[in-house]
Structure 1
């Protein structure tokens, strides 16, 4: 079994996890990215691709997979997901399985306004959110919403364009700043789909939590991994401790059944008055996964096992609680 990981970015640890997962099958892990990165070099084979939004991207991937006997594709980047989901059937016709949720699921996760509507529609707590600046200001004027508020891109990744406004003057200035940042970054491609590309959101100031909801490849619920985040950097989890939390686990199970994703769903949560609020959804391996892996889980191996027809292995889908983990920074020469 040969696997292609697309848009690997800096996630060299996931390359290593998947290499270990296919080792017993004499498989290789191929890595793809549109620019050279250290993570690319850690794969058995690697390739530089056209940019994701290029018309040449999907034909390039298809030709590469056919030439290298690749049977599984897994993406590690939000923007890659809807394009791969849209082309799942095309790859399937060549015997290549794209492990990605349905496009309808990806659209809900990538579009934070649709995320908000989805969560509200399924009675899952989420911060109060507005897509209209005028509506947000009206809510602030009648105390339905209070300062500080968060301004962020509707189609956002990482920490690009996320700001906190403490008053009306800052709200106007930062709203325009976010608009400019969207237009000058790769977020402009997603945001071109709708003129309402900025959200104003209730700011819940609390400890941060993360959950990873695990479904099998048939969308059946398996488990939820829970963590308390202790340090963040540029939207990524830098330090976390694994925990047992019944309320967070219940949210995970509710997300599984209502969303119907495939594989792993990464979600950030906040706590207010003893209740937990879902902040966002990412239908892919997220920055918190290494902490689950170090605490005993092995979702890359479980995905490989599912792909060859094996059943869910509890040893691969269980974490030990109270495991404290931290990421490091390591300079490398490309």
Structure 2
């Protein structure tokens, strides 16, 4: 199953002077920490719904191969409105999505695996009897969220009883820790520092293809996905928060290294000017993504073999 993620980062927080998604956490930012864990669990695509200080956040994450969706009415809209924008961006390509606010960075990859293993339309991690994040929505739940206009917003939709809900018990306090106040942020930092000595050894991979130099990786892969979905290189660039010239340079470099066309471009005509993947481009993208998945599975097996215990 294809699992995406929607990180909700559009809102403001009057109780915090700093911009929460970019607040520091062990040498990185909170939102980058979330992305690292999501990638570790094989989650892709990742959508970030921006609003408040959108340009600053999009620049901060421009190299991470994520999709940006802006909530232009973030000052007056509800969280469910941001959720709907995120779902609309990925519902056609994902079997399920993980929903999480940008100030809950300490959940584990093991928790993500546990939440994703359930077949219920809605799955919520629970630690010590308290519900946390991320929440997992399957296809019917995503459709329900898009159609919901009742009371209570996202919480009202989840607990409406219209769809099966599964509470997944986990021993991961990270699902509960957030940073809505300065005091909560300090507790989060203290927990992370203490937990760092207790958490199990992990590994992370960044897979790139080289031919003399690096020319194809996660960012290029996601960019090609966006082009195929939107039928437009310009729209793909806008979704990923990159300049059109940068996107063009990325594709041109990959095509030069590979020796064949990845993206075909059509100006005007009956189809009205668009971009789409060539047959070779679709085949190459599929091979790359299957390769990444196979490497991750083998790396997990080897990691367990050499470092278990």
| TM-score above 0.5 | no
Q: TM-score, normalised by structure 1?
A: 0.27
Task: Looking at secondary structure, tell me which structure has more strand per residue.
Answer: 1
